[in-house]
Structure 1
């Protein structure tokens, strides 16, 4: 009975997490891929660098890792006993929910780059160098790189890896069936020693977190029950590790500590939203926003966030560290607002098209005692 109740709580927690996790995905893209060193001082530029690096290059890492964990967990809820028909059914389902949206949104960005290049060149808009760089991204890469290796819509690497994790799900099933906890320990060694496969679709991040979710489901381990009694300690440890990660930015030690922080931070985050879910008003607002999460994820890099960042950068306020810090939080909110607006328009004028673009993720979740309704 306790496990069943925890499962219902976990379902509500995961639904409430969807929108805030997407905010972390968007704000992660407010800075470059480089991880500069941070300096502790009261200088506004140093404060901006510290805050933005702590969130974008450290805290925001929780978002995609949580998605892998959740995806593995719910896929393997159906694989308690291996069944080829269930596996085939899941593959068929993933074509609609993952593969088709993945291909479409990469193609949409390719078309957008092509159209922007020709329109801007024709009307003499924007920077010629930036326009040429956009075109170079297309002509200098193969179709394989654009649609898989990179991919061109780079946040979609998560979907690419999730497709691959689904394909090799029998591997996880067999490993955890016969090796049980030792199979999980092998994945942990692979992950914590910072190995990289360099094979598109099979990142160590995907393998480990999807595998952890699969193990939890296959052996009926609920994250809420596993952390019962140590929630405060987990939150404190996660906060300390987050600070250490930020201070180690740009050093050879950063990735090692980050890989320790993320699993602990993920469980801590699940517990935070378990507490938040006790507030009915907040829970319902997050549930209402949750269906927009996938659309925001796939659409925000189709020029939306970059143009907003460019617009803010052109303002006089952006010359100071305080102005940059203000923009750091405002631009993601504006980006999300634009995406929700586009989502609402599409839902009104062509729900069928929106359904294809989002893989059918349009339903609204409403939490009531006893589970989903």
Structure 2
């Protein structure tokens, strides 16, 4: 397998793995370090939700930056705006405003509240829930798309720096965003530096498989760093998020040649739909579980929920792709074909979320 094929398959595999991690990260309820106990399940849950899978968005951001600047679309701002308006803005608006509409109907019609901020107390609250103006939108995972849209607007400036003064640009990006000098321009400070580093890898044509020989040490270092985060109850994981993509990328080489890795790469085409749609489905599983909680232990729900949600959404995607491919393609911002027959299945090499 050529280096280019290895990179494509690794991107596809990581895309599905990271978005499954996003779903697991959001399994309710959120338990902060202050409420952590020394019970084994509590520690395992904290290890995965407060450390390991906190690194999913940085990995996806790094890959998105790499793919965008590798394509050099940043040098054509109008084309960039048209493409990203279709592939990021349209899905963001559809999946967020749809959930906001459902939340308002449930609140006013049935007295069921999906959020403590329904209805918002002021215009700023409405702007946040609807568009992620200065805070998280109602479909909270979509704050990633919100920030990615901002990065797309900044991409021409980043691209100029990457090609003319890459290291000065890197220092400026770190200095501005890691010190929150951008205020609420980005909700996640780490995204801009990681996005820029992905662009640096593309523009400077780094050898992306050069460190594969360190896959096991990279994996071990990442897992140990996550263990330290939990053991020391480090609430600010920004430095872990900065480093993690550069440990996870070579560590992923361990999975690429395996049957499991190839299966995850094939599942990549479902990833974006799972990402944008998983929050309300996950909430529905929590609502269904709560009446049964006296008889069904919470750890059972916590383990099964992400598999159930991903499975349901993959089936939903397949049904929509078969019967309403035009509608599905419109709301996802990319053409959707009917699911191929098993004999014709190919490794998915779609770009990561928002690319």
TM-score normalised by structure 2 residue count: 0.84
Contact 1:37 1:247 in 2 (8 A): no
**Match status 1:278 vs 2:278:** no
Give 1:289-328 correspondences, 5 Å limit. Answer: 289-302=267-280, 304-316=281-293, 323-328=297-302
- Distance in 1, matches of 2:120 and 2:179, equals 33
User: Equivalent residue for 1:49?
Assistant: 42
* 2:95 is the alignment partner of 1:105: yes
The structure-2 alpha-carbon separation of the partners of 1:161 and 1:292, relative to structure 1 and needing over 3 Å to count, comes to same
Residue 208 of structure 1 pairs with residue 201 of structure 2: no
CA deviations over 1:169-224 (Å, ceiling 9, x no partner): 12212222333234324444566x66474414463122111111111111111442
Q: Structure 1: 5+ residue runs without aligned partners?
A: 122-127
* Closer/same/farther in 2, CA of residues 269 and 362 from structure 1, 3 Å limit: farther
Change (3 A) 1:13 1:98: same
What residue is the counterpart of 1:124 in the other structure?
Answer: none
SS at match of 1:168: helix
CA distance in 1, matches of 2:181, 2:309: 32
Residue 242 of structure 1 corresponds to 226
Which has the larger Rg? 1
The equivalent position to 2:12 in structure 1, one of 11, 15, 21, is 15
CA shift for structure 1 position 270: 2.0
Q: Which residue is equivalent to 1:345?
A: 319
Are the aligned partners of 2:176 and 2:182 in contact in 1 as well (CA < 8 Å)? no
Distance 1:95 1:195 in 2: 26
**Who is 1:140 aligned against?**
121
Q: Tell me the TM-score normalized by structure 1.
A: 0.81
User: For each residue in 1:7-32, what CA deviation from the matched residue of structure 2 results, as whole angstroms up to 9, or x when unmatched?
Assistant: 33111101011211111111111144
Query: In 2, are the aligned partners of 1:294 and 1:361 still within 8 Å (CA)?
Result: no
Q: Is the 8 A contact 1:7 1:222 kept in 2?
A: no
Which residue does the alignment assign to 1:28?
A: 25
| Aligned counterpart, 1:221 | 206
Determine the C-alpha separation between the residues in 2 that align with 1:196 and 1:260.
17
The count of residues paired between Structure 1 and Structure 2 equals 339
1:114 equivalent to 2:114? Answer no
Give the superposition deviation at 1:277: 1.6
Output the CA distance in 1 between the equivalents of 2:20 and 2:122.
30
Q: 1:156 to 1:332 in 2, by over 3 A?
A: same
Q: Hey, what's the Cα distance between the residues in 2 that align with 1:61 and 1:132?
A: 27
Backbone CA RMSD of aligned residues: 2.9
Distance 2:70 2:189 in 1: 22
Q: Counterparts of 1:314 and 1:276 in 2: how far apart (Å)?
A: 39
Task: Write the distance in 2 (CA, Å) between the matches of 1:306 and 1:37.
Answer: 24
Query: Residue 188 and residue 65 in structure 1: after superposition, are their counterparts in 2 closer, same or farther (change >3 A)?
Result: same
Aligned equivalent of 1:125: none
Q: Is the 8 A contact 1:105 1:299 kept in 2?
A: yes
CA deviation after TM superposition for structure 1 residue 275, in Å? 2.4
Secondary structure at the aligned position of 1:230 is classed as: helix
SS at match of 1:208: helix
Q: Distance in 2 between matches of 1:40 and 1:56?
A: 14
* Segments of 4+ moved more than 6 angstroms: none
Matched, 1:359 2:344: no
Q: Deviations over 1:33-70 (max 9, x none)?
A: 552247674xxxx2222111111121111211111111
- The whole-number CA distance in structure 2 between the counterparts of 1:198 and 1:35 is 25
Alpha-carbon separation, structure 1, partners of 2:32 and 2:335: 34
**Residue-by-residue CA offset, 1:89-115 (whole Å, 9 max, x unaligned):** 122111111111111111110121133
